Structure 1
Amino acid sequence: MKPLVVVVVVVVVALAAAVAVALEVGGDLGAQQEVEALLAFKQSADWNGGRLRSWGRGSNLCTQWVGVSCVKGRVSKLVLEDYDLVGGIDSLLRLRSLRLLSLKNNALNGSIPPDLTNWRNVKFVFLGGNHLSGSIPRSISQLAHLWRLDLSNNRLSGPVPSSMDALTNLLTLRLEGNELSSALPPLAHLTMLNDFNVSANQLRGTIPKTLERFNASTFAGNAGLCGSPLPRCASILEPPSPAPSPDHTIDPPPPFRAYVPSSLAMPSHSNDTSMGDAVVLVLMTSMFLVYYWRRSGRRGRKFEDRSSSSASGFGSQLDQQSKHGTYASKPRTLVFVGGGGSGQAPSFDLEHLLRASAEMLGKGSLGSAYKAMLVDGYVVAVKRLKDVTSTSRKDFEQHIELIGRMRSPHLVQLQAYYYAKDEKLLVYDYMPNGSLHSLLHGNRGPGRVPVDWTTRINIALGAARGLAYIHQESGSHKIPHGNIKSSNVFLDRNGVARIGDFGLALLMNSAACSRLVGYRAPEHWETRRISQKGDVYSFGVLLLEILTGKAPVQRDGVHDLPRWVQSVVREEWTAEVFDLELMRYRDIEEEMVGLLQTAMACVAHSPDARPKMSQVVRMIEEIRGNASPESFDSQSQLSSSQSEGA
């Protein structure tokens, strides 16, 4: 038996070695194939031998060949625009690792290869402004990762393939200036399509309803196309009315007369008629006033009934959840801090608050939150704290007063608090536009309105300013937020980002602190302490959430989002990390990469390597200083920047 085991082991080791050698040789062969493919392209395309002179066997493909970029020794980008290149592109199909191909504004000819499966990982194809002919191959549907396709201003003919409907990630489809014919396919599954143009072709038929959302210029120059947004198709126009026979006359329509009630008609010259009209007008006015008085009286009585009863009010909700009796037996003292909400003097007391109509907004690790509407229509948010440490009333009040003195346009302002041994309430300004979490992750299905880049970076800057303010204003106390997460970043009525729940983590007992779901820094799991350096880490995760559109998930005590982003960036596929919703905007790649670099600095493993929040604010301000137009132009998007081509 033993000799047999030895033989098996030897065979397995030999096979493993053979596989390793084969993989290594295969990798080398793949790189060599790419060299040969590019040299074949150069031979046919660079007709004068001058534009691609850096391409040669004696030079490094990835570092010295113009227009070529590599990842792990394989060609990932080929960008040669306005190079006077001629010939076909068939040889480039051997570039199996290609992500970005941009050969715009050359003189390339021939047809697009019929089998494009070798490019199944490509994301950007820009071939506009050449002399390509033939049809668009059906195999284009195999490019499942394709985001942008520009084949404009060529000599392509035939139909627009219905197989393109499989390109569900497509943001850009530019086919204008060709000789395409037949009817347009519905392309119903291209819901992300934002930049679309088929003008100046030979298309005909009715524009599909799924494409009616684009403007008329998208379809202009196709004499056979009709239907919205172009004029209606002749086949669906109502037939003209038959001409009348000679012995039949058609009466002209009666002149238009607006209907006016007799009581409001212009008076005649008769004094009796004028008097009658005046009486009618007075009676109508009187009836209206009586009706309005009765209705407002009923509304007032209902309002008084609601305000005088706490059976369904906020106090009743608290009593139903309380284990310590009703509020009728508690001290009725609501302490205002910092002059009340937004610096105004308080206009309500605890009695008003307990009689307010209320609805629960949610339950969190710090307690339950309510929306309370006072009898005068004023709305506040109330946080009912739980698991507060057994600190003295004096210590609690001193801490809350310190929080209350923090006044910034980027903080959710604390207005007042209520303290009892077994109950503690905090009253805040109400934020009507919800949280960043709901904005980013709510309704990710069909019909969702994407969150544009300007909104995201403004929220990032506002939240950074709010957190920096907390760190600076607390002075020697060095108060951390302790629970930074997207559900604690709120938007006020003007859409300004405000940090909520700041400073409360220090009031919680150790068991409650361990349950906080903010984006914890690595050192927290060893020290179990919250700190301002930990806040910076948490804010870095928040920035990654804004950039990626992904909600951080905690696994084994660590949030996975920084890990994932670091692994992607390490492989140089930087564009993979960005939310697909952001890819429809132009001229923002540099800003996105800048914010990504800021985020990565914040999530450094070592606390000492992380910047201060004041520095983070300056970083984002410098990024935001650049213009961020809210439209996309695929013609020039990648000419100046290739950062997203990975």
Structure 2
Amino acid sequence: MSARYVMSSAMDPRCRFLMTTLLVVVVLLQGVPLALQAVSTDSDALLKFKQSIVDPKNTLSSWDGSTTPCATGSDKDNWAGVMCAGGTVRGLQLENMGLSGLIDVDSLRGLSALRTLSVMNNQFDGPMPDLAKLGMLKSVYLSNNKFSGQIADNAFEDMLSLKKLHLAGNGFTGGIPTSLTNLPKLIDLRLEGNQFTGTIPVFKQKDLQDFNVSNNDLDGLIPSSLAKMNSSSFTGNKALCGLPLNPCADASPEPPGKKSSHLNIIIPVVVICVVALIAGLVNCILRHKRKPTSVEDPPVQSNHQKKSNFQEATEGRPEAGSPENLSPGRRAENMKLSFVRDDREKFDLQDLLKASAEILGSGSFGSSYKAALLRGPAMVVKRFRQMNNVGREDFQEHMRRLGRLSHPNLLPLVAYYYRKEEKLLVYDYIERGSLAVHLHSNHSSGKPSLDWLTRLKIVKGITRGLLYLYNELPNLMAPHGHLKSSNVLLGDSFKPLLNDYALMPVINRENARDLMLAYKSPEYLQHDRITKKTDVWSFGIIILEILTGKLPVNTPQHMERNMEDSLAVWVRSTMDAGDNVLDKEMKTTASNENEINKLLRIALACCEPDVETEARH
């Protein structure tokens, strides 16, 4: 018979009750130090991590052990650069602090809830940190440091939760680790500005959205799984070829029988003369510069490409689908633009072919060109390939609806061109360029920066334009859908003009999720839906960008759940620390300080990451 049985059978019932109660109390008391230990673990881990870091600006002075990194049970952080959720450390955002030394990965293993690590724009050097020890990480941002050397091929094989990895602007060498190609959740990979060599491995992820290996020393054929990416993702690698860049020199010719197939009889009718236009323009640039010309994606780039002439697209051997290969009647039909405004002088594609052309850049949707017509003003032609799923009648009806919009703060659509494979939208050319250029590029070009009154005027104009879209397009959940500083042009007297608005109904859904800003909003990231608040969130980001002069893309932009808006997070944390967040180029004074602070609060309310919280302003 066991001792336990003897004790229980011989003991008075009241004694058994007291004994049971005592055991419960003992268990509860044993849990107390465990809970306290859990609270102190984050502090201990971060203090140990701090010991390996050189902090010349003393930016981590709040890491002193007198407080905990996070307020108990809340999302409020007590230590600089710490992101909290539920009283635990969820992320480290140690950016632009002048830090150097060692990334002590072993100490970070004590942060059980750590999901995001960012040390961008510092002075860390040496080999790639052994991040495999932090397999729970979802987002890693090491860009713009001095890391170097080869990365082990299996460096990421255990990081199965990793979604976003930014290693741009370092000195990494060797091949791109193939372990990256098997990460099931990877959607964002930035490797540009390093010294990677060899071929690009085949990435198997179907949901890979943002990919960039530009300005390395890569060679060979671009894998077909990456052919959908923007060409700017691969520029600066002299030996790369294949879509979306130029075909490889040793590409096998198409079998003669295939050229006469039924499909290729249809293609010359479907492929519009713009293909010839672009091909001729590229050939012209190649002939003039005697080297490949890369087209970068410039939210803040102000220098245009070298001028050419669209008419060169029709010189020499006619391309398949060009006007020369069509019958006279069909050629005339294919040269016709559809105008949606009656206050513009009519012209057609033949006029564009004769126009002096300038590549303005390559944005989210495709390339844009400035066309200086022989008679009439300069126009901007935007080429879209993400509208193939839209039927002719639906597309035409939506373009007519956009043509009826008229507001001082909207860039009006002038005309469009429909073909199944791609579409053209024609707008007026705005000489002054985008808000993004004036906020960011002008800082390094010596041009005058925007003062406070001009910035306030721009904010008010954007507000009026956005309100008009909401009133005129009530059936659209996000009437703009792609509101960002590069889509705000500045007209005469710096009057803001919204651009690329109301395109969500005609962009293919699969492309829209990858390209449009509305699908990066908290509403979509948290609940997979677009709401009426989505454009308000984008507007709040623009206001913060205007007031701080900082680019949202310079910080980890799409963090997990309630940390998507890293610019807003940075503004909140910096203001809480009592530091100034305003752009010094704005030249503020004491007289307008109150007004600026009000606008800051409005912007932060618009950027509220909790989708259930109303932005009342």
TM-score by length of 2: 0.46
Structure with the greater alpha carbon radius of gyration: 1
TM-score by length of 1: 0.44
